[in-house]
Amino acid sequence: MGSEVWNVLVTGGAGYIGSHTVLELLEAGFQVVVIDNLINAYKDLNSEKPKCLLIVEKLTNKNVTFIDCDITNINDLRDVFQKHTFSCVIHFAALKAVGESCQKPLEYYKVNVAGTVNILEVMRENNVKHFIYSSSATVYGIPEQLPLVEDMKTGNCTNPYGKTKFMVEEILKDLCKSDDEFSVISLRYFNPVGAHSSGQIGEDPNGIPNNLMPYIAQVSVGKRDMLYIYGNDYDTPDGTGVRDYIHIVDLAIGHVKAMTYQKTCNPMGFKAINLGTGKGYSVLEVIRAYEKASGKKIPYKIVERRPGDISASYADASVANKELGWTTTKNLDDMCADTWKWQQNNPNGYKN
């Protein structure tokens, strides 16, 4: 199994993390089929493929197969598995806006939980036994202790989005208990930010960004007047929230390492692995780093705390280091420089 070329199904591969991961998988020699229903991705008007994947093909000089498919439709998934043979599935497709998940919980449970069960069912029908899951630090809920370690308690989540990530992890644990040939790596991402160093692919949020870095990026190109900082009375060194920001390319490479690990190891059941740098930065520190990288002033105003926010979160990343041989190579300055490059080149994202 170690030397054959793996054909990988990437769900949600037209999204922010998916597109960067597809690029790294192609560079590492994997063959890739992407499925995505493009609900949060931009379709090129002159092609059947999403724009980000056309750019990925250009950057890598390799081909990606793209299929427009909704994971909530199990028969469409069956068609995909009938036309292609896969060794592994990397599952990104999901809805991801925390606020929206409180307004539309059923949509979130349908796509994130039922959609995932559909994929697992079709994998079982086709005897595909390797699964890499996009989980999140949010599964730890309100941290009892920092840094966050994989064997800490999970599940005290404050919103439906977080609960879907926790529920899927529980489903995956049960599935692994029922089938000792099944291998799952659940990658618990901390805060992915930044863009590919080419400045040609990056994060392209719809409407007002929910997350800090894309919001700052839009302020830096004049699309928004100022950043609103959600609270400066947290129990952190400067009172603003602290997070473990991780460069998107480091995160993408984490998936390649996880796949390579699955390819070379015997079935190992369910394994959760944090992908973070292990270091937390405050909102004010991120603003300062971005100002340095861009030469732009980021005006801000302190406002009320955002409901559901925690004061601080950062990873213990030693399991990824020991088990996957993975470590981050890019720091906060790189994250800001690459975000700025992408935003400056593409002030309107892929719609340029």
| Residue 192 contacts ligand NAD per CB under 6 A | yes
As measured in angstroms, the least distance from the Cβ of 295 to ligand NAD is 26
| Residue 44 or 239 with smaller CB distance to ligand NAD | 44
What is the smallest separation between the CB atom of 2 and ligand NAD, expressed in angstroms? 28
Residue 315: DSSP 8-state? B
Interface pick for ligand NAD out of 14, 33, 195, 252 (rule CB under 6 A): 14
Least Å distance, CB 235 to ligand NAD, is: 23
Amino acid identity of residue 99, one-letter, is G
List, in sequence order, the alpha helices (H) in 9-92: 16-27, 51-60, 74-83
Residue 4 vs 48, nearer CB to ligand NAD: 48
Cis ω for the linkage preceding 307 (within 30 of 0): no
Residues 135-164 that bind ligand NAD (CB under 6 A): 136
189 binds ligand NAD (CB under 6 A): yes
The residue annotated as part of the active site, out of 108, 140, 161, 350, is 161
DSSP H helices in the chain: 16-27, 51-60, 74-83, 98-103, 105-108, 115-125, 160-178, 212-220, 248-264, 283-294, 318-319, 332-345
H helix or E strand, kind and range, residue 133? strand 130-136
* Residue of 272, 219, 222, 280 whose CA lies nearest to 246: 280
Binding mask 257-296 for ligand UDP (x = CB under 6 A): --------------------------x-------------
Please report where in the chains the tokens 């999901």 appear, as a residue. Answer: 94
- Which residues neighbour 24 within 8 Å (Cβ) at sequence distance 6 or greater? 249, 252, 253, 255, 256
Q: Does residue 191 interact with ligand UDP by CB under 6 A?
A: yes
Tell me the two tokens of residue 263: 């390819």
Q: Which of 309, 321, 344, 347 binds ligand UDP (CB under 6 A)?
A: 309
Which of ligand UDP, ligand NAD, none has residue 36 at its interface (CB below 5 to 8 Å by kind)?
Answer: ligand NAD
Q: For the CB of residue 313, give the shortest distance to ligand UDP in the complex, in Å.
A: 6
**CA-closest candidate to residue 82, choices 48, 19, 13, 128:** 128
Nearest distance from residue 332's CB to ligand NAD, in Å? 16
Residue 161 annotated among the catalytic residues of the structure: yes
Decide: helix, strand or coil at residue 35. Answer: strand
* Contact footprint for ligand NAD (CB under 6 A): 12, 14-18, 36-41, 70-72, 92-96, 111, 115, 134, 136, 189, 192
* Contact footprint for ligand UDP (CB under 6 A): 191, 210-212, 215, 227-230, 241, 243, 283, 306, 309
